[in-house]
Amino acid sequence: MTAGIVNVVKPPGMTSHDVVSFIRRTYGLKKVGHAGTLDPAAAGVLPVFLGKATRLIEYAMQEDKSYRVELTLGYETDTGDDTGKTLSRAPFVMPAREKIEGALASFVGTTEQVPPMYSAIKVDGQKLYELARAGVDVEVKPRHITIYEIKLLKVSAEGFLFDVVCSKGTYIRSLCIDIGKKLGILAVMSFLVRTRAGQFALAEAHTLEEIAAQKEDLLLPLDSVLGQMPSLTLTDDQANRFCCGQNISCQASAGMYRVYNSKQELIGIGEVAAPLLLTPIKVLM
């Protein structure tokens, strides 16, 4: 069965689920999933996992992400971006570049962020955007996020462009609203491009047309999601026992490992916790 990862450029106007449906049809597979939803209006990197690679999605979800963001000042919407219903407008004077840079810099570090109501987070089993569309008002609890880097690129008459590197779970729409509040000006996210998701970069991503034409050539191996995780290679006997869920004696320091058989096929992920003992965490064979 086909298994691997495709680094997709999601075009604006498609949902992440639309992309998954396209990959299912292209590769003739049912077992397909993605790592990290992008809003329909957003574009950029969307890693899509096929076959048994779907069991590794959780590792991609843990990675930090990079975005290029366009923020527009002077109005607010119910969704936090320019696709929503305008709630209010207010005149403003564009702040000096130094003030904008200072506002952006104030978000670097770990902080709490309130996710937008129009998001897929579930409250009592219902997605927030479903509750929002039904006019139901619920309290959304803040989440801890980390902004690692943020850099102002360009200032225009309407707003500005910036790059940000952030932890999983960061909502860029909420970040734009909060930046506006820091400046004392209403703000929305007017465009978003995800330039990197963990190990997957926009420069190496492929359009849907390219994938349809070269589907086998563009399929990445399973271990491409595991980045810098160290590896262990087992003998045939050890690999068989590992795949049966048994602990394996090994000469390795504590930590998580990519585990390969003698043919250099990825057979799973293991953890060395007890001295010289490899415990299967996830078996792929």
Which CATH number belongs to the domain containing residue 243 in this structure?
Answer: 2.30.130.10
Q: What is the pTM of this model?
A: 0.90
Residues 163 and 181 placed together within one structural domain of the fold = yes
> How many residues are there in the chain?
285
Please identify which residue in the block is written with the tokens 């990079």. Answer: 66
Residues 86 and 186 placed together within one structural domain of the fold = yes
* Confidence label for 40 from pLDDT (cuts 50, 70 and 90): confident
Residues 183 and 247 placed together within one structural domain of the fold = no
pLDDT score at 115: 75
Amino acid type, 15: T
**Does the structure show a pLDDT above 60 at 131?**
no
Nearest in space to 152 (alpha carbons), one of 144, 143, 161: 161
**Does the structure show a pLDDT above 60 at 48?**
yes
**Does the structure show a pLDDT above 70 at 245?**
yes
Residues 220 and 254 placed together within one structural domain of the fold = no
pLDDT score at 135: 60
Residues 82 and 181 placed together within one structural domain of the fold = yes
pLDDT score at 21: 97
Residues 17 and 138 placed together within one structural domain of the fold = no
**Does the structure show a pLDDT above 80 at 126?**
no
* Confidence label for 227 from pLDDT (cuts 50, 70 and 90): confident
Residue 211 DSSP SS3: helix
Phi, psi at 179, each rounded to 5°: -65, -40
Q: Which two tokens stand for residue 139?
A: 């309290």
Instruction: Compute the average pLDDT of residues 154-170.
Output: 96
Residues 73 and 186 placed together within one structural domain of the fold = yes
**Does the structure show a pLDDT above 60 at 220?**
yes
Instruction: Compute the average pLDDT of residues 220-240.
Output: 93
- Contact call for residues 6 and 206 (beta carbons, < 8 A): yes
Active site annotation includes 39:
yes
Instruction: Compute the average pLDDT of residues 130-159.
Output: 82
d(Cα 269, Cα 230) in Å, to the nearest integer? 10
Query: Per DSSP, what are the bridge partners of residue 127?
Result: 122
Domain boundary among 136, 171, 194: 194
**Does the structure show a pLDDT above 70 at 25?**
yes
The active-site residue out of 18, 39, 64, 178 is 39
Residues 135 and 174 placed together within one structural domain of the fold = yes
Mean pLDDT for all residues in the chain: 91
* CATH number of the domain to which 38 belongs: 3.30.2350.10
- Contact call for residues 45 and 9 (beta carbons, < 8 A): yes
The pairing of strands 187-197 and 65-73 is antiparallel
Mention every residue, 6+ apart, whose C-beta is less than 8 A from residue 65. Answer: 36, 165, 166, 167, 168, 170, 194, 196, 197, 198
More confident residue, 251 or 30: 30
Q: Count of CB atoms within 10 A of residue 264's CB?
A: 9
pLDDT score at 62: 87
* Confidence label for 114 from pLDDT (cuts 50, 70 and 90): confident
- Contact call for residues 260 and 248 (beta carbons, < 8 A): no
**Residue 226 has what DSSP assignment?**
S
How many CA atoms within 13 Å lie on the side-chain side of 112?
A: 5
**Does the structure show a pLDDT above 70 at 180?**
yes
* Confidence label for 149 from pLDDT (cuts 50, 70 and 90): very high
